[in-house]
Every structure is written in structure tokens, then in C-alpha cells.
């Protein structure tokens, strides 16, 4: 995500890259809007023409009215001037509205694409990026793309056309003066292009810093209880202050670079205008040239000044927009890692047997987390995974869902390798209760219904009842329709867990993956959650990461995970009898204490 590829490349290939990017943006967004662009284009041509017409008619205004004193044109010429202003005003309005609409549509389109793409990306992408920063960055980037399009079109079409027409008008009036004025162009272009490179770097840094500032605000809001409990306010303020200051400093640098184009253009243009006045003044005084041509010329020159200045600034602004666009494509081009294999078939579950064959996996290369895991979870039975914190239990569960792909060995469900079936069919046959329950924006009912979107209200309520959740749901102000706070802050830990279990129950899948929460609950919640789990576990293949003795004792098979390997296996009766076994040792400790938790002992 923070690839800084573009900075290390040479100027030439950077320009090539910018052009490719521009082509891509236009190819991906232009087609839908051809009609809009044509109408906007006509408006832009009208703006350019009416502007050039003003300069052109100035010669007649001066010569016929002021020099010749021709009364017949006293009405027609001013009226023509008025008309051209009217046309210019209407055409400016038309192109403004059309281009703004296209811009808004482009924003919406990229938002849609990014959201769809983010949901397709694999779990590890989100492990590498902080969600709040990601959101803030995308927000800045999307408007960047809109600006690229609008800038390209308004500047290239309107300003360039206007400039060309005005230059024609100028040459028409006086080619010698035109030559003097046009000499100002090349030095401006050269100096401006020197600015863009500096700007590119500062822009990228500024976007990243702003994203971090916004991200830090969002994380603070989410973790406000921890922030207050550990009196982290000051520390966080100080840390954010550093970011805010750097962001401000970057923005200032961008302003200095961007605005530097102003004095450059002004100075060079000033020299040109002065030279034109001096030369034409001299000619008029010395040789009696008529003033009309000179006025027309100066008018054209002054009218050309604004579009020329905007064009000079274009490259600088475009740079900013292109950096944003490039950042969007970094995300859009991030390929989902676990695309379905070509010709992948749907998983067909007959019983729901899950088998691991010598599975090896690590989140980072060279740091194995699972070092050869083999076991069979029999169809319709319960397999409990127990082991110390960090031994790899949740990782085993994550691999069955294919959140990650194993680097060695095979995982089979009813004899079909999970890498060879479609992810949708795989996940459709699995209900998953994560270690940390996740709730989404919406009502309690919505949150349960995510288990099976087509379920009706009666089924949702039945699932809630079986998950021991109905009582507290009905006690909420709006019952099932009560909105849940961000990530469920308005609910207790046990209530969140029971909602998460209700969601899994509603799915009614043949395989249930259950990652028991490690957080301690009070005895009543504990009993309720336990009952909910018992309901969920009946009659299906269950793989449960268990921390409670009550869950473990009932399991058909217990796997003791130790540092990425299975150290012991068997049922409770067999394992307690094993002399010096990990499990037996734990059970000895457990029996002497009154704790119902396994981890401390293992
Ligand atoms: N997303 C991740 N990225 C990198 N490393 C990870 C990630 N998730 C887990 N790990 C590492 O993998 C190892 C196993 O983690 P895992 O979550 O499977 O443990 P666990 O047995 O479920 O522990 P617990 O009982 O505390 O939940 C740990 O050392 C952990 O640091
Ligand atoms: Mg875990």
C-alpha cells in the first residue's frame, strides 16, 4: 500500500506512467459519459469562441467608433459585445453543471468499485492495513480522481481552445506583436515542469499523514474506554499532535510549491505585456499606426492571460490528482489472493468430515505457526482443540474457512480438497462463531439474519431463542429492532456472544466452527452461553476451540495443540489417564482448583 514505486523512476518513465494512468481513467470512466462530454465540449468551444470574438471585435470598436466616429455602429457593436458575454455566461454554466455531475458520478463509481473490491480481498490484506486509515485514505483518493478528470477536460478543452483562438486573433491583428508575446511561453513551461516532481512526493506524504490523523481519531473513538481507563488521553494527543504538525507542514510545502507557479507566470507575462506596449506605442507614435489593432491585440493578450495561467498551473494540479488516482489503483490492482481455481466445483457435503493432512502454515514466511497438523474430525462429532494461548488453535479454524491458504499439506472436507472448491460453496456449508464476536451497523435482527439472509423473522427469533438471547433482546428498547452500537458497545460481552451464536445457528450448516471466547463471563452469562453452545453443537460436525472444561469433557475427540503441533489426542477419559501428559497435568491442576478454565494450566 505504501509502495513508493513512482518516486524512484526516471522522469521519462514517470511521464509515461502518468499518461498511462490518464488513459486508464478515461478508458474506464469516459465511455459512459460520451454524451455529457460532447455537450460540455460544445459549451467549452462556445466559451472559447465568444472570448476570442471579444478581442477580435475590439479593433472595430476603437477604429470605427472612436477614430472614424461612425454613428451607424453605435448600437450594433455594443450589442454584439453584450451577446458574446451572454453566450459566454450560459456556456460556462452549462459546462460547469455537466462536468460537476460527471465528476460526482465518477466518485460514486469508484466508491462502489472500491467497496466491492475490498470485500473481495483476502483476510491478510486487512491484517496489513489499519481500517480507519484505509477509509480515510480512500476518501481523499476518490476526490482526487474526480479532479483529474475535471481538470483535464476543463483545462485542456476550455483553456487550451480559448488560448488557441485568442492567439489566432492576435496573429490576425499583428503577427510581430504576437511573436513578442508568445516568446513568454517556453520559459514558463520549463520552470513549471521543475515544480511537479517536488509536488508529487509532498502530495503522497500529505495524503498518508492525513489518513493517519483521521485514523487515529477513529481508533480513539472506538477504544474510548481503554483510552480513559489507562489515562492515555495525553499520550494519544501528543502522538496525534506530531502527525498533525507534519501534515500541516506538508500542506504548507505543497502550497509553497503550487503557488510558486504564480510569480513565475506573472513575471514572465509582465515582461511580455510591457514589451508589447513599448513596441506598439513606439510604432503608433513614430509611424502613426491606427490604435484599433493595438487595442484589439492588448485585449486578446489580457484575455489570454487567465487561461494561460490556468494551463501553467494545470500540470501542478494534475500532479496532485494523479497521485491520488495512482493510490486508488494500488488498491484496485491488489489481486484477491485466493481466487477460485479455474473450473472449481461446488463443495458437496455428505457427512461433514473435516481432515487435516500434515498441514503447514505461517502468517509470515520463515515463521511457522502450524508445523504439520494431521487429524480427522468425524462427521457429526465434536472435536475440541485445547492448548496454550498462541499455540495455533484459532489459526487451524481460520484455515478451514480458507481465510488463508496452507503452505503445505491438504485440508479435506468429505474427501474434497478445500483449495479446489469454490469459496462460496465452502463457506456456505460452514457456520462460524469467532473468538471475538463482530456486530455490524443495523438492528439486532439484521445482525442475526446475516447468518442466512433469506431467513424469515420467525426463523431469526427461533435462532435467538435457542441461543438463549431472546430474553435480553426483548428487554431492549425496540426489541429485535434495536440498533446495535458500534461493534456492539451497547451490549454486554455475553450478549454479543449469544448474538454471534444465534447467527451461526440460523445458518444451520453441517459444519460448525466455534472459537470459544477467552474472556471470562459471570456465572449466569456463562451458563447461558454454555446452553447456547450446546444447542449449536447438536447433530453436526463441530470443531471447537475450547477453554471451558465443560465443553471439553463432552467432546468426542480432544486435540492438545502445542506450539503448532498436536501433542496429544484422545477423549477425556483416555487423556487424563496418560502419565505425565500435558492434558493429565492440566486436569490434575483443574481438579484441585475450582476454576473451569484450561489455558492457565496448559
Ligand atoms: N493475523 C495474524 N498475523 C500474524 N500473526 C498472527 C496472526 N494471527 C495469529 N498470529 C500468530 O500466530 C500464532 C497462533 O495464533 P492463534 O490465534 O492461532 O493462537 P490461539 O491458539 O488461538 O491462541 P488463543 O488461545 O490466545 O486464542 C500466534 O503466535 C500469533 O501471534
Ligand atoms: Mg484463538
Our answer on whether the CB atom of 362 is closer than 6 Å to any ligand 1 atom is no
Our answer on whether the CB atom of 127 is closer than 6 Å to any ligand 1 atom is yes
Cell numbers standing for residue 587 = 486436569
Domain borders along the chain are 14-332, 352-429+511-518+540-602, 436-508
Are 26 and 106 in contact, with CB atoms under 8 Å apart? no
Distance, CA 597 to ligand 2 centroid (Å)? 14
Distance, CA 425 to ligand 2 centroid (Å)? 25
Phi, psi torsion values for 363, nearest 5 degrees: -70, -30
**DSSP letters of 568-598?**
EEE-HHHHHHSTT-HHHHHHHHHHHS---BS
Q: Is 14-332 CATH 1.20.1560.10?
A: yes
Distance, CA 501 to ligand 1 centroid (Å)? 22
Alpha-carbon 509 to chain mean position: 33
523-537 vs 457-466: helix axis angle to the nearest 10?
A: 120
Distance, CA 385 to ligand 2 centroid (Å)? 10
**Residue whose CA is closest, atom 24 of ligand 1?**
389
Other beta carbons less than 10 A from residue 473's beta carbon: 24
Cell numbers standing for residue 503 = 447467527
Ligand 1 atom nearest to CA at 395: 18
Are 145 and 328 in contact, with CB atoms under 8 Å apart? yes
Name the burial class of residue 318, with classes exposed (0-12), middle (13-18) and buried (19+) by CB atoms within 10 angstroms of its CB.
buried
Our answer on whether the CB atom of 389 is closer than 6 Å to any ligand 1 atom is yes
Are 583 and 568 in contact, with CB atoms under 8 Å apart? yes
Ligand 1 atom nearest to CA at 398: 18
**pLDDT score of 519:** 57
Our answer on whether the CB atom of 394 is closer than 6 Å to any ligand 1 atom is yes
Our answer on whether the CB atom of 391 is closer than 6 Å to any ligand 1 atom is yes
In testing the pocket of ligand 1, which one of 388, 395, 582 has its CB within 8 Å of the most ligand atoms?
A: 395
Our answer on whether the CB atom of 572 is closer than 6 Å to any ligand 1 atom is no
Distance, CA 391 to ligand 2 centroid (Å)? 8
**Residue whose CA is closest, atom 5 of ligand 1?**
363
**pLDDT score of 300:** 81
**Residue whose CA is closest, atom 7 of ligand 1?**
363
Cell numbers standing for residue 396 = 487451524
**pLDDT score of 599:** 52
Q: Name the closest ligand to CA 561.
A: 1
Our answer on whether the CB atom of 390 is closer than 6 Å to any ligand 1 atom is yes
Cell numbers standing for residue 510 = 453441517
**Residue whose CA is closest, atom 31 of ligand 1?**
390
Alpha-carbon span 158 to 145, nearest angstrom: 19
Our answer on whether the CB atom of 395 is closer than 6 Å to any ligand 1 atom is yes
Among residues 154, 199, 190, the alpha carbon closest in space to that of 324 is found at 199
Our answer on whether the CB atom of 157 is closer than 6 Å to any ligand 1 atom is no
Question: What is the fold of 352-429+511-518+540-602?
Answer: Rossmann fold (3.40.50)
Our answer on whether the CB atom of 393 is closer than 6 Å to any ligand 1 atom is yes
Our answer on whether the CB atom of 122 is closer than 6 Å to any ligand 1 atom is no
Are 318 and 151 in contact, with CB atoms under 8 Å apart? yes
Alpha-carbon span 261 to 257, nearest angstrom: 7
In testing the pocket of ligand 1, which one of 391, 563, 567 has its CB within 8 Å of the most ligand atoms?
A: 391
Our answer on whether the CB atom of 126 is closer than 6 Å to any ligand 1 atom is no
Strands 541-545 and 430-433: unpaired
- Is 436-508 in the same CATH topology as 352-429+511-518+540-602? yes
Distance, CA 471 to ligand 1 centroid (Å)? 34
Distance, CA 551 to ligand 1 centroid (Å)? 21
Our answer on whether the CB atom of 370 is closer than 6 Å to any ligand 1 atom is no
What is the per-residue pLDDT across 497-507, written as a single tens digit (0 to 9) for each? 889 989 998 99
Among residues 313, 295, 308, the alpha carbon closest in space to that of 61 is found at 295
Our answer on whether the CB atom of 313 is closer than 6 Å to any ligand 1 atom is no
**pLDDT score of 5:** 40
Distance, CA 581 to ligand 2 centroid (Å)? 22
Our answer on whether the CB atom of 369 is closer than 6 Å to any ligand 1 atom is yes
**DSSP letters of 161-208?**
HHHHHHHHHHHHH-HHHHHHHHTTHHHHHHHHHHHHHHHHHHHHHHHH
Q: Name the closest ligand to CA 388.
A: 1
C-alpha pair distances (Å), 73 with each of 64, 67, 79, 295, 297: 8, 13, 10, 18, 21
* Positions in the chain whose pLDDT score sits under 70: 1-12, 486-488, 518-523, 525, 587-602
Query: Can you say whether the dihedral through the CA atoms of 368, 374, 378, 382 is positive or negative?
Result: negative
Name the burial class of residue 73, with classes exposed (0-12), middle (13-18) and buried (19+) by CB atoms within 10 angstroms of its CB.
middle
**Residue whose CA is closest, atom 10 of ligand 1?**
363
**pLDDT score of 11:** 58
**Residue whose CA is closest, atom 17 of ligand 1?**
394
Ligand 1 atom nearest to CA at 392: 18
Our answer on whether the CB atom of 519 is closer than 6 Å to any ligand 1 atom is no
Three-state SS string over 460-486 comes to HHHHHHHCCCHHHHHCCCCHHHCECCH
- Coil/strand/helix, residue 372: strand
What is the per-residue pLDDT across 366-413, written as a single tens digit (0 to 9) for each? 899 999 999 999 999 999 999 888 999 999 999 999 999 999 999 999
pTM of the model: 0.73
**pLDDT score of 1:** 40
Distance, CA 368 to ligand 1 centroid (Å)? 11
CATH of domain 436-508: 3.40.50.300
**pLDDT score of 547:** 82
**pLDDT score of 406:** 92
Our answer on whether the CB atom of 138 is closer than 6 Å to any ligand 1 atom is no
Distance, CA 390 to ligand 1 centroid (Å)? 5
Distance, CA 399 to ligand 1 centroid (Å)? 12
**pLDDT score of 521:** 60
Distance, CA 124 to ligand 1 centroid (Å)? 13
Amino acid at each position: 500500500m505504501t509502495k513508493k514505486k513512482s518516486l524512484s523512476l526516471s522522469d521519462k518513465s514517470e511521464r509515461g506512467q502518468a499518461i498511462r494512468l490518464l488513459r486508464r481513467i478515461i478508458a474506464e470512466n469516459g465511455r459512459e459519459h460520451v454524451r455529457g462530454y460532447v455537450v460540455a465540449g460544445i459549451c467549452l468551444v462556445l466559451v472559447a469562441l465568444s472570448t476570442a470574438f471579444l478581442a477580435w471585435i475590439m479593433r472595430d470598436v476603437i477604429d470605427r467608433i472612436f477614430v472614424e466616429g461612425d454613428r451607424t455602429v453605435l448600437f450594433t457593436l455594443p450589442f454584439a459585445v453584450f451577446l458574446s458575454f451572454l453566450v459566454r455566461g450560459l456556456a460556462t454554466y452549462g459546462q460547469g453543471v455537466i462536468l460537476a455531475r460527471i465528476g460526482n458520478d465518477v466518485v460514486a463509481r469508484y466508491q462502489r468499485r472500491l467497496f466491492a473490491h475490498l470485500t473481495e480481498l483476502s483476510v491478510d490484506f486487512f491484517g496489513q492495513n489499519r481500517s480507519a486509515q484505509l477509509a480515510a485514505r480512500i476518501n481523499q483518493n476518490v476526490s482526487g480522481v474526480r479532479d483529474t478528470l475535471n481538470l483535464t477536460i476543463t483545462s485542456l478543452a476550455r483553456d487550451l481552445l480559448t488560448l488557441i483562438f485568442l492567439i489566432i486573433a492576435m496573429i490576425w491583428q499583428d503577427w510581430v506583436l504576437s511573436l513578442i508575446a508568445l516568446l513568454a511561453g517556453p520559459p514558463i513551461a520549463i520552470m513549471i515542469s521543475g515544480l511537479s516532481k517536488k509536488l508529487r512526493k509532498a502530495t503522497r506524504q500529505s495524503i498518508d499523514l492525513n489518513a493517519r490523523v483521521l485514523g487515529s481519531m477513529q481508533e480513539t473513538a472506538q477504544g474510548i474506554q481503554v483510552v480513559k481507563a489507562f489515562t492515555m488521553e495525553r499520550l494519544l494527543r501528543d502522538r496525534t499532535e506530531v502527525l498533525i504538525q507534519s501534515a500541516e507542514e506538508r500542506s504548507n510545502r505543497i502550497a509553497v510549491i503550487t503557488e510558486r507557479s504564480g510569480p513565475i507566470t506573472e513575471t514572465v507575462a509582465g515582461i511580455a505585456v510591457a514589451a508589447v506596449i513599448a513596441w506598439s506605442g513606439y510604432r503608433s507614435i513614430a509611424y502613426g499606426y491606427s490604435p484599433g489593432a493595438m487595442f484589439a491585440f492588448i485585449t486578446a493578450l489580457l484575455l489570454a492571460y487567465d487561461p494561460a495561467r490556468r494551463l501553467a498551473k494545470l500540470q501542478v494540479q494534475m500532479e496532485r490528482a494523479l497521485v491520488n488516482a495512482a493510490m486508488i489503483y494500488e488498491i484496485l490492482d491488489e489481486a484477491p489472493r485466493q481466487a477460485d481455481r479455474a473450473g472449481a466445483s461446488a463443495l458437496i457435503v455428505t457427512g461433514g468430515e473435516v481432515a487435516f493432512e500434515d498441514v503447514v502454515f505461517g502468517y509470515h514466511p520463515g515463521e511457522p505457526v502450524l508445523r504439520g497438523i494431521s487429524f480427522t474430525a468425524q462427521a457429526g462429532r465434536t472435536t475440541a482443540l485445547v492448548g496454550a494461548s498462541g499455540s495455533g488453535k484459532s489459526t487451524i479454524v481460520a484455515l478451514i474457512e480458507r481465510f488463508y491458504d496452507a503452505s503445505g499439506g491438504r485440508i479435506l472436507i468429505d474427501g474434497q480438497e478445500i483449495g479446489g472448491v469454490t469459496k462460496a460453496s465452502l463457506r456456505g456449508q460452514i457456520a462460524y462463531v469467532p473468538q471475538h464476536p463482530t456486530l455490524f451497523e443495523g438492528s439486532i435482527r439484521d445482525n442475526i439474519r446475516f447468518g442466512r439472509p433469506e431467513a424469515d423473522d420467525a426463523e431469526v427469533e427461533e435462532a435467538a431463542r435457542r441461543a438463549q438471547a431472546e430474553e435480553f433482546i426483548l428487554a431492549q428498547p425496540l426489541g429485535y429492532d434495536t440498533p446495535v452500537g458500534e461493534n456492539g458497545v451497547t451490549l454486554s460481552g455475553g450478549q454479543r456472544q449469544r448474538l454471534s451464536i444465534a447467527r451461526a445457528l440460523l445458518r444451520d450448516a453441517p459444519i460448525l466452527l466455534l472459537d470459544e471466547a477467552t474472556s471470562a463471563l459471570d456465572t449466569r452469562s456463562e451458563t447461558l452461553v454454555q446452553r447456547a453452545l450446546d444447542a449449536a453443537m447438536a447433530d453436526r460436525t463441530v470443531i471447537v476451540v475450547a477453554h471451558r472444561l465443560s465443553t471439553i469433557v463432552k467432546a468426542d475427540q480432544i486435540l492438545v495443540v502445542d506450539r503448532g503441533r498436536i501433542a496429544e489426542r484422545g477423549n477425556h477419559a483416555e487423556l487424563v489417564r496418560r502419565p505425565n501428559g500435558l492434558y493429565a497435568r492440566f486436569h490434575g491442576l483443574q481438579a484441585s482448583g475450582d476454576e473451569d478454565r484450561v489455558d492457565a494450566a496448559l
